[in-house]
Amino acid sequence: KAGVTQTPRYLIKTRGQQVTLSCSPISGHRSVSWYQQTPGQGLQFLFEYFSETQRNKGNFPGRFSGRQFSNSRSEMNVSTLELGDSALYLCASSGKNSPLHFGNGTRLTVT
């Protein structure tokens, strides 16, 4: 069974730009979550989607948004990028009685 797939692996953007990250969950998993990982703040929950609906949201500004498609694939978008948005963005999926498994992440660098 293929794991969680995230694209792209690396991304360099300039302040003020926007970015879209993509995630394909493990086959059969309908829940997708996004996390931000930084050296200073650790792993922080962004949001969770299930059946195309946002089920939970973390404490991030409205510049961070996401969506889920009918095939469970998910995207997250960050608008008006700031230097502090530089981080590893991790997507994870879970299913019925199947806990969270992470993808390899997208390393975003904002210059």
Partner 1 sequence: GENVEQHPSTLSVQEGDSAVIKCTYSDSASNYFPWYKQELGKRPQLIIDIRSNVGEKKDQRIAVTLNKTAKHFSLHITETQPEDSAVYFCAACKAGGTSYGKLTFGQGTILTVHP
For partner 1, the binding residues (CB under 8 A) are: 30-33, 35, 42-45, 48, 50, 55-56, 58, 90, 92, 94-96, 98-105
User: Closer CB to partner 1, residue 18 or residue 71?
Assistant: 71
User: Closer CB to partner 1, residue 32 or residue 78?
Assistant: 32
CA 105 → CA 24, 96, 101, distances in Å? 11, 23, 12
Structure tokens at 46: 């962004």
Q: How far is the CB of 73 from partner 1 (least distance, A)?
A: 15
Mapped onto helix, strand or coil, the DSSP state of residue 84 is helix
* CA 37 from centre of chain: 10
Q: How far is the CB of 12 from partner 1 (least distance, A)?
A: 17
Q: How far is the CB of 80 from partner 1 (least distance, A)?
A: 25
Mapped onto helix, strand or coil, the DSSP state of residue 83 is helix
